[in-house]
Structure 1
Amino acid sequence: MLDILKGPVEATQDFMILTGQAMRNLFRRPHYLDDVLIQMDSIGFGSLFVAVLTGFFSGAVMGLQMGRALGQYGQTSRTGEVVAIILVRELGPALTALMIAGRNSSGIASELGSMRVTEQIDAMRALGTDPIQKLVTPRMIATAVMLPCLTVIADFVGMIGGWVVAILVYHLPTRQYWTSCWQALEWSDVVQGLLKPFIFSFVVSLIGCYYGLRTTGGTQGVGRATTQAMVTASVLIFILTTFITKIFVATT
């Protein structure tokens, strides 16, 4: 039994150490601002199309399903309200984080894994450069900044998707739809919708860095690290969504 738990416990310990070192580097020089900006462009702008596409069709599907369900009770006019609440609270942050994890957690693991197996990271250490400060912290900062921004964009585009369905399928007035969206949202919803992607950003970035830095076994090892990073980040996003939602439900 202890042998079975040994691997997961060691992995958790190593991940927490990496997280602590990356956080500590926020207050240490050098800060490698150029690397942060490059990663913000890669993670943020590079993922914009994926976030917009995911948000639009998520909103459209919810508009179709919610409008049909509400129509049974004569409440089709509240379609915008339901779409807005579900997007901002739950689906927007979760789906955006999952798509960014699929694109960036795996990408980070692949990039750092390739550097690891080609001994570039060892060369950095030999030259006196901290690879965590140079490679991990900029990616963590960039993801923490860009993922909430992408979530906001995905939420808004998702509401547009719901609006398209509302006017084309259920023939709701545009003013009525957007008014119900606006009135449905409270500050607690906005806080929850921004806090989740901020927390998810550390999972997306640090999981990718963790598996990338511990890659072994050449090109096959890079492939394994990429898959493990994506799967682990996705599972943790679902777990964190459950706990954060539970906390907000209990406190509001």
Structure 2
Amino acid sequence: MFYHFGRYLLLIRLSFKRPENFKVYWDEVMREMVSIGIGSLGIISIISVFIGAVATIQTAFQLVSDFIPKSIVGGITRDSTILEFSPTISALVLAGRVGSSIASEIGTMRVTEQIDALEIMGVNAPGYLIAPKVISGLTMIPLLNIISIGLGLIGGYIACAASGDVSTADYIRGLTDGFNPLIIQVTIVKSIFFGFIITSICAYQGFYTSGGALEVGQSATKGVVYSCIMILFADLIISRVML
């Protein structure tokens, strides 16, 4: 365990050495941003709308007392979406979509000896292959989280309009009542950590792949599983520290 952790830290340190050619690295960062951000926008949008709608319906179902104002549904949906549903569930989905792609791409390059060829040419392979992915994850996953929050709240509004359990006016009033800016800080911190976890762990699994196509698949699976575990662990730690 300590051996793998030490090798992981060494790989991350090598990834952020001074690049040989800034333009080449910048082009890779832009390509990864498009791949992670634009490529994941569809699945994140669909999931976020439905999660927001379901959270609103279930909250309205549980608050059946006449002594509880209906506007509380909007407040609970807002806080749960911002603090937990959008950052954590989106990260778990992205671990499967983005993480497996990163591990498979780098793992394939390793077993086909493309990484060895880069190193022979004097290229810092970890920096060229991993740093752009990590930087893109740190940038795009928080942006996807913000989009997810907005779409989740829209999904809650649609659920209110369609079901009639809570009026849309009460829902909107609940969204604005008692808002604490701290929850925005928490969700941003979570999404930044989640972005680093997904990209770095999956890149590590792919970089140290050995064997053939079967091992590439195993590395991708390990990357997704370990990323999901670390996302849940980081979620717990950040929530405990910041809240």
- Structure 2 length normalisation: TM-score? 0.94
Deviation at 1:76, TM superposition (A): 2.8
Residue equivalent to 2:7: 14
Residue equivalent to 1:36: 29
Residue equivalent to 1:5: none
Which of 13-22 and 107-116 deviates more?
13-22
* Residue 68 (structure 1) aligned with residue 51 (structure 2): no
**Unaligned runs of at least 5 residues, structure 2:** none
Residue equivalent to 2:43: 50
**Unaligned runs of at least 5 residues, structure 1:** 1-7
- Where does 1:176-215 land on structure 2 (aligned, <5 Å)? 176-215=170-209
Distance in 2 of aligned mates of 1:30 and 1:182: 48
Does the residue aligned with 1:100 lie in a helix, a strand or coil? helix
- Where does 1:1-252 land on structure 2 (aligned, <5 Å)? 8-22=1-15, 24-25=16-17, 28-31=19-22, 32-72=25-65, 74-249=68-243
Deviation at 1:179, TM superposition (A): 2.8
Deviation at 1:35, TM superposition (A): 0.4
8 Å CA contact 2:20, 2:123 repeated in 1: no
How many residues are matched? 240
Residue equivalent to 1:4: none
1:203 alignment partner AA: I
Distance in 2 of aligned mates of 1:34 and 1:181: 40
8 Å CA contact 1:196, 1:244 repeated in 2: yes
Deviation at 1:225, TM superposition (A): 0.3
Distance in 1 of aligned mates of 2:214 and 2:129: 22
Identity %: 29
Between Structure 1 and Structure 2, the one with more helix by share is 1
Distance in 2 of aligned mates of 1:212 and 1:139: 13
- Once the two structures are superposed, residues 160-217 of structure 1 have per-residue CA deviations (whole angstroms, 9 ceiling, x without a partner) of 1111112222343333322321334321111011110011111010011100000011
- Structure 1 length normalisation: TM-score? 0.91
2:148 alignment partner AA: A
2:37 alignment partner AA: G
